[in-house]
Amino acid sequence: MMTPEIQEAYEAAKKLYAKHGINTDDVINQLKDIKISMHCWQGDDVRGFINKDQELTGGISVTGNYPGVARTPEELRQDLEKAYSLIPGKHKLNLHAIYVDTDEKIDYNEIEPRHFEKWVTWAKEQGLGLDFNPTLFSHPKSEDGFTLSHPNKEIRDFWIEHCKRSRKIGEYFGRETGQTCVTNVWIPDGYKDNPVDRLAPRKRLEESLDEIFKEEIDSEYNLDAIESKVFGIGSEAYVVGSHEFYMGYGLTRDKLICLDAGHFHPTEVVSNKLSAISLFSKGMLLHVSRPVRWDSDHVVILDDELQEIAKELVVNNLLDKTHIGLDFFDASINRVAAWVIGARNMIKALLKAYLEPIEQLKEIELKGDFTTRLALREEFKSYPFGAIWDYYCASLGVPVREDWLAQVRKYEEEVLRNRN
């Protein structure tokens, strides 16, 4: 809710930023247009609804057993609505193929748009865009760690069929919602220990992908993305879909390159890759995440790398060719809170990036005045960005500061605690 205090603090901050040529009203208008694709899988620990008894595989894992996990599509949508109501702006939802909403018993190679009809109806009601992912894990046919690069053609064909159908679902999402769907392919394929042949699986993956993407789909409705990874649990020595593999594949096939912030070596950062890739690629998809030790998927906090990612997008004008998605899963805290924290942080980071004197800093850098560059950037860290953020939340009708937490607590008491 807007209060005189929030308004006053905003006016004072606005003046300070104006001294550096930053118009905070304009910033707010630009920020409103940026959509974040929120991943459905934080709500149920990547279980999905296609096969309730199937354990999570693919070298990713969710730890914790906080009460209130969503058990049905209805519960998941209810939780998502709660989360979206606490996040400023209009955004997207990122679904995985295992999130079918149907009474039919179907396998991965049988999914069709109609199995996602209820999601589409709901997304339209909520004014949300939809993104999609084929699920190449949590299935008996991926048990030995290989899918699209599997040596057995029958198994490859099964997954190829799944991915082809996934693109058709993406097309359906795009047509129905009026917002382009990004369909992202990530596969877990890899070896625990050093392979003899590193090339053959990559060759097979290349062929499988070419087959999957054979059918032209209107890019107004669906865009394809491909996601690399440096290692997974059980694929420590070798991952078929490495960064170099997908860089090459994406650039030669005109696909979006997906960069997951948790999929690189510990001192390697995706923020430093965006400008380079932007020069050569059709576009990028971000999986904003937070790596900690071996885990690539902690809840996103407002850390240096998140701010650096946002800064790169804003300073280099990359928001048009970059699709921002979130990718983390934590079952040790309230799952709705996890969404809200991660999404609010992503938006905060973008806001903070807009509130730096970009043009001024660029000039200073060109002149070679690195003292001023460092001094100014450091001083701007304590400029009253919080006052603009509070005003932004209040004017978009979402809770200001930590007020959202009380609503999540209430929801936990009234809804989540009643799920067993």
Structure tokens that stand for 355 in this block: 């509130």
| Residue from 6, 22, 31, 46 binding ligand RNT (CB under 6 A) | 46
Q: Is 287 in the site for Zn ion (CB under 5 A)?
A: yes
The site partner of 46 among ligand RNT, Zn ion, none (C-beta below 5 to 8 Å per kind) is ligand RNT
Structure tokens that stand for 189 in this block: 């394929």
Contacts of 197 by beta carbon, 8 Å cutoff, 6+ apart: none
Q: Is 356 in the site for Zn ion (CB under 5 A)?
A: no
| Residue from 35, 91, 139, 229 binding ligand RNT (CB under 6 A) | 229
Q: Among candidates 189, 94, 193, which has minimal Cα distance to 148?
A: 189
The site partner of 389 among ligand RNT, Zn ion, none (C-beta below 5 to 8 Å per kind) is none
Assess contact for 341 and 299: CB atoms under 8 A: yes
Residue number of the CB closest to ligand RNT reads: 186
Q: Is 47 in the site for ligand RNT (CB under 6 A)?
A: no
Residues with a catalytic annotation lie at: 186, 227, 229, 260, 263, 287, 295, 297, 327
Question: Which residue is associated with the tokens 């603009």?
Answer: 388
Q: Is 189 in the site for Zn ion (CB under 5 A)?
A: no
Q: Is 44 in the site for ligand RNT (CB under 6 A)?
A: no
The number of beta carbons lying within 10 Å of the beta carbon of residue 399 is: 20
Structure tokens that stand for 158 in this block: 């099964």
With H, G, I as helix, E, B as strand and everything else as coil, classify residue 340. Answer: helix
Q: Among candidates 254, 138, 119, which has minimal Cα distance to 186?
A: 138
Q: Is 295 in the site for Zn ion (CB under 5 A)?
A: no
Strand runs labelled E in 73-221: 92-96, 129-133, 181-185, 190-191
Q: Which stretch binds Zn ion (CB under 5 A): 104-112, 146-154, 252-260, 363-371?
A: 252-260
Q: At 25, which amino acid appears?
A: D
For residue 344, the minimal CB distance to Zn ion (Å) is: 20
Structure tokens that stand for 62 in this block: 């969710």
The residue among 260 and 330 lying less far from Zn ion, judged by its C-beta, is: 260
Binding stretches for Zn ion (CB under 5 A): 260, 287, 327
Residues found near ligand RNT in the complex (CB under 6 A)? 41, 46, 60, 96, 133, 186, 227, 229, 260, 287, 296, 327
